Structure 1
């Protein structure tokens, strides 16, 4: 397999993706070329020209602040552990990373609003189904509008990645028909006595890629030399990072870059949309990225099972269910942080 170590970068590139929305194919190809370069060399980058309206983003932020200002009792009324499809409120300490430490944030986890009578929901597909919504005027409508806008941006990015990989721009569309793409509303409370500790620990993202809208600094990404690089705020831009599934599809050409959030003094909100493929999608290296007589760097992975396994190892309520024997990890489940720069640095150190 070709070298999988991206550059020892010190800052993130900015990619103008407005060309992906153009009716002119050359515009789309030009934007896709820059997108692919950033994905290969860094795996983490800003995107401008994204088309998500400022008013839509402002409504998201305003209503999120209203939600997290509710009492603990009101928020726990929609606790994620009450959900059958992993949707709802996540209190501080509920989520743990590979180091086993609970982090300091709170969250509201949402996804596509899939009705209970949908065939995939009736079949028991994990992560799909109705959301748990708080009782706040206008909340569901505004958040759903934002979800649709950022998911549409994700579709255009996915087509850009397809072009960058030498495939037809609609190559991946068949894998994204009803995906469990999660939107997280994250809140890192103010802490005037904060020390240098994680707000959320080091990890990669389990899906194809992530579209992040942050409101304050704190995000860090690991470069090819194993160094943590700060990700400053860039006005009117999204932060995009490659996830585990794109690393597999490209046989490591695109890297699922490890990242973390520092515990900072100022209050911080963050909004990642984890762009996933359909649960039953079997992801394995594309033929174009496996040389003749070369063994692929990754075996086939069922996308949903990978997402489920990682989630089951990082949420307390699911860990407790496993201890009680109520649920079990999918066959072939990987440990947390099995992809990305952190895993590669560890492998190099053990070699």
Structure 2
């Protein structure tokens, strides 16, 4: 893999069955061979992407005290602002040079799921500026709708019922994140985000035009995921790799921190099912020649374990 494939979102839903089938087959091959693809011609309007970009620039330019008023450390369910150095994705490298904001579905603190799984469900901590919140909420809905089409297409490609995956998203823990990569402080700190794989099912990434995302190919080389205007970069996560018995691959990737004077913004949308989703090898991904590799696990337990390994403040709370 020296290039990242292009998948046409419109063709995944095309009225022409032959076109639709061809695009789903291309999607299937990308998931097996690369674990990454560009998604073009999505249903998300360019103006909505621009509004989210503007919201991020406004939010991250706020005084540090304003951002830390909604510090993620104040949230049991991991929502809010994360300052530079809070996250370390590469566990043997240095902390990531980025600041973040996380949101998900907003559950009241007394909701049964928030009471049962307080580390994964609960209220969001929102910025005080209404226009930022509106941009976040609008994009969350739009990106979720796109993700459901992608997961439906994956189910079809795997020979499963088309709602196999999407039926697990009634009370999901899908997270929208805003990321700001400030200029790095000299050449010694070049990992904006250290090498890692994502935890969940799939990730839909909206990135600006600065670049810096790199994907590790099968030869061990880092390949640039060069920004394509209006596209999303989609990748397979660890949970989907388990679900498909390693047939769909979760691929390592990283972000090189911007050079002096350059700011990078990106927006990963981490698509993660209901906490109590039982993830076990799908029936079409194992056989006598290819036995099941992973024991069943609850989706939320898996995501929780990965959060705890990545965030220093959660380790300290144990």
Which bracket does the TM-score occupy, shorter chain normalised? over 0.9
Q: TM-score, normalised by structure 1?
A: 0.85
The question of whether the paired residues in 2 share the 8 Å contact of 1:38 and 1:44 is answered with yes
Aligned residue in 1 for 2:202: 209
The question of whether the paired residues in 1 share the 8 Å contact of 2:11 and 2:23 is answered with yes
| 1:46 counterpart = 2:38 | yes
Alignment partner of 2:106 out of 113, 133, 138: 113
Aligned residue in 2 for 1:96: 88
* TM-superposition CA deviations, 1:93-137 (whole Å, max 9, x none): 111122152111000011122233433123235322211011113
Alignment partner of 2:256 out of 262, 287, 296: 262
Distance 1:83 1:31 in 2: 41
Distance 1:263 1:166 in 2: 40
Distance 2:125 2:78 in 1: 10
| SS of residue matched to 1:245 | helix
Aligned residue in 1 for 2:279: 283
Q: How does 1:208-287 map to 2 (within 5 A)?
A: 208-215=201-208, 216-265=210-259, 266-287=262-283
Greater shift in the superposed pair: 54-63 or 31-40? 31-40
Distance 2:129 2:241 in 1: 39
Distance 1:183 1:153 in 2: 13
| SS of residue matched to 1:264 | coil
Aligned residue in 2 for 1:72: 64
Task: Give the unaligned 5+ runs of structure 2.
Answer: none
| 1:160 counterpart = 2:169 | no
Q: How does 1:311-350 map to 2 (within 5 A)?
A: 311-322=307-318
Greater shift in the superposed pair: 176-185 or 280-289? 280-289
| SS of residue matched to 1:220 | strand
Task: Give the unaligned 5+ runs of structure 1.
Answer: 1-8, 323-351
Greater shift in the superposed pair: 81-90 or 195-204? 195-204
Query: What displacement does 1:268 show?
Result: 0.2
Aligned residue in 2 for 1:144: 137
With over 3 angstroms needed to count, the CA separation of the structure-2 counterparts of 1:82 and 1:230, relative to structure 1, is: same
Query: What displacement does 1:44 show?
Result: 0.8
The question of whether the paired residues in 2 share the 8 Å contact of 1:196 and 1:262 is answered with no
| SS of residue matched to 2:317 | helix
User: How many residues get paired?
Assistant: 314
Alignment partner of 2:48 out of 51, 56, 60: 56
Distance 2:160 2:132 in 1: 39
| 1:292 counterpart = 2:288 | yes
Distance 1:230 1:137 in 2: 36
| 1:130 counterpart = 2:126 | no
The question of whether the paired residues in 2 share the 8 Å contact of 1:195 and 1:264 is answered with no
Distance 2:111 2:13 in 1: 31
Query: What displacement does 1:26 show?
Result: 4.6
